[in-house]
Amino acid sequence: MRMTSLERVQAAAERKKIDRPCSSLRCTPEAWESLREYFSVSTNLEVMDILDIDLRWVSANFIGPKEKSASPLGSEGTDFWGCHTRAVKNEFNTYYEFDYHPLESAETIEDIHAHEWPSLDWWDYGTIREQAEAHDVMDKRAHLYFAGGTFETPWYIRGLETFLMDMYENPDIVNALCTHVGDYYEARAWRAIETAGECIHMIGSGGDIGSQRGMMIAPEMWGEHIKPHTARLITPFRSRGFMTFYHSCGSLVPVIDDLIEIGLQFLDPIQITAEGMQPEALYKQFGDRLSFHGAVDEVELLPHATPAEVYKETIRLIDVLGKRNGFIVSPSHQVQGDTTPENVEAIFKAVKDYSSL
């Protein structure tokens, strides 16, 4: 019997039987434009409906001060935390990198408290329901609201090098930063839930704590300084019946058990070229307790392979990570501008065909 997208994703979260693998898709603006042209449509939503994408992201629109923006990495300028970014371009995409961290020079906890922290009223939470209803026209989709992260945002505000040094030299500053950020993101998520209600099914959070060769910080330092704050955006929402999702690029094997302990259900993006993140190893160690999101390699496979090769690799990944049905098939990060629409289409053709192979 055919399941709705929501039923499919909910079953995958608990590793229960599903009618076909689940799907998800994130793209850079350049990749979205390419897909719209390829399918001769005018919106990203139409692309997702054509590909029958199960998991959809919803968010509140930013209505805060005009001199600030919603995302630190989505545009050039000053974001709502007070961080500043500048545009950096290559032949395929535009990216944004930080050139100002507002609390980089802070010396005391009092300096942290005195920062101009954002208001919860800077968001139009009613737009979440509008987005969800638009996504649900073709099917009842699963909707993910991304709450934020209590590792990356603090270092955006403080500066990465300074923040990492603080863990050894100024742990009270680390705790103050993470507490302010966690307070805001948790309260904002509850505000979104209060407004959008049943339109939100999954709460996402995250922060890149891994590199290609291992974790960016020692696992024990993560456990002492970051884990309690990470839990704030996972545990209370899981206890209220929401599915949970955590994003970290790179290798983070030493703390996956910790993430499961605090209530994580979906780990994203499964960067399979990073140390210890190979699908077979992950499934063997965690596949009975954790579901996976991502894994279709955006580093080498999608930019360089043929559609046939992408199709074959997607089937292989489902064979490995989807044995207990706990797998949402997706590129391992946002699809970049150097990936062809044909290769994106091949991923979801494999998803559609899998149950009949």
pLDDT tens by residue, 301-317 = 999 999 999 999 999 99
| Burial of 263 (C-beta count, 10 Å sphere; 0-12/13-18/19+) | middle
For residue range 86-101, what is the model confidence (pLDDT) as tens digits? 888 887 787 778 899 9
Q: Domain range spanning residue 150?
A: 5-65+108-354
81 falls within a domain: no
Residue type, 258: D
Q: Which residue has the tokens 């139009």?
A: 124
Task: Give the torsion sign (CA, 270, 275, 279, 284).
Answer: negative
User: Does the structure show a pLDDT above 90 at 179?
Assistant: yes
96 falls within a domain: no
At 96 the pLDDT is 79
User: Does the structure show a pLDDT above 80 at 295?
Assistant: yes
92 falls within a domain: no
82 falls within a domain: no
At 73 the pLDDT is 67
Neighbours of 182 (CB within 10 A): 23
Q: Tell me, what CATH number does 166's domain have?
A: 3.20.20.210
329/347 Cα distance (integer angstroms): 8
At 32 the pLDDT is 97
74 falls within a domain: no
84 falls within a domain: no
Please count the structural domains in the chain.
Answer: 1
Tell me how long the chain is. Answer: 357
357: pLDDT confidence band, cut at 50, 70 and 90? low
At 236 the pLDDT is 98
290 falls within a domain: yes
User: Does the structure show a pLDDT above 70 at 42?
Assistant: yes
177/183 Cα distance (integer angstroms): 10
Interacting residues of 42 by C-beta distance below 8 A, sequence separation 6+: 36
356: pLDDT confidence band, cut at 50, 70 and 90? low
What kind and span of H or E run contains 100? strand 94-100
Q: Which residue has the tokens 């207990």?
A: 324
Interacting residues of 129 by C-beta distance below 8 A, sequence separation 6+: 195, 196, 197, 199
When pLDDT is averaged across residues 23-30 and rounded to a whole number, the result is 96
197: pLDDT confidence band, cut at 50, 70 and 90? confident
Residue 331 three-state SS: strand
Mean residue pLDDT across the chain: 96
- Name the nearest CA neighbour of 351 among 301, 297, 299, 313: 313
309/302 Cα distance (integer angstroms): 9
At 329 the pLDDT is 98
User: Does the structure show a pLDDT above 80 at 75?
Assistant: no
When pLDDT is averaged across residues 169-198 and rounded to a whole number, the result is 97
Contact 335, 31 (CB under 8 A): yes
